[in-house]
Structure 1
Amino acid sequence: MGTLIYGSGREFEFDDRTLSHVKIALVTKLRRHESFLLNWEIPVEQGGGRMSIWISREIPLAFVFGSRPPVLNERWMEALLHTSQRTGGMVIMPEDAAESDEFSDR
């Protein structure tokens, strides 16, 4: 499991593969000086619900990984960046959802 550390020590756990893709998408946006919402569903085993946090260059952000970097899926990163253009912000989605035609440039 990987950990996203945000602000003054708030920690959020994601599997390393997901967090690796989210990291690249977040860094891409922040390098462009873009602030946005980051959204995800909280698993039922952790109480369920949804989480949204404001991502900004002014707020400290760190990533901790438990394993080696995975081979990245370009479609997944593109889908994350695509959702970030919406008013509701970037949505962390499962990898298979990123393969849907909704995010296809074909």
Structure 2
Amino acid sequence: MGVLRYGSDLIPIVMPDDVLAHLQLVVTAKLGAGEGFTVSWRHGDGQGRSTLWFERSIPLRFDFASPHPVVTDPRRVRAMITEAAAVTGLSLGTLPSEAS
């Protein structure tokens, strides 16, 4: 499991390395173009959901569990970028309960 660290306190959000790698590419593309967006997920324990607002001024760090790069799927990245551009933002589905 990898960790996205978000915000001034670099709050940890746990997710699988493959999800994190694809999200990193989406974040790079969207923020590189100066576009903010939301990312949402359901908590694995069934106790709710979370949404983050991504924009250039908010600190981010991507920590991967594996020392080896994840092979990413360009079609998946394009689909995620398209979803992130919608008013509803990008949904990651359900993440492990420690992500909440």
Unaligned runs of 5+ in 1: 95-106
Write out the 4+ residue segments of structure 1 that deviate beyond 6 Å after TM superposition.
none
Matches within 5 A, 1:62-77: 62-67=61-66, 68-77=68-77
Q: Which of the two has greater strand per residue?
A: 2
Q: Deviations over 1:16-38 (max 9, x none)?
A: 11100011111110000101111
Matches within 5 A, 1:12-23: 12-23=13-24
Equivalent pairs counted in the alignment come to: 92
The 1-side partners of 2:12 and 2:63 are apart by: 10
Aligned 8 A contact 1:80 1:92 in 2: no
Tell me the SS of whatever aligns to 2:87: coil
Q: Percent identity?
A: 32
Aligned 8 A contact 2:5 2:13 in 1: yes
Give the structure 2 partner of residue 56 of structure 1.
Answer: 55
Unaligned runs of 5+ in 2: 95-100
Relative contact order higher in (CA < 8 Å, ≥ 6 apart): 2
Shift of 1:14: 0.4
The 2-side partners of 1:79 and 1:49 are apart by: 25
Give the structure 2 partner of residue 104 of structure 1.
Answer: none
TM-score by length of 1: 0.80
Q: Deviations over 1:13-70 (max 9, x none)?
A: 00111100011111110000101111112112xx532110110100000000011112
The 2-side partners of 1:40 and 1:9 are apart by: 18
Q: Report the AA paired with residue 25 of structure 2.
A: I
Alignment root-mean-square deviation, CA: 1.5
Larger radius of gyration: 1
Aligned 8 A contact 1:80 1:93 in 2: no
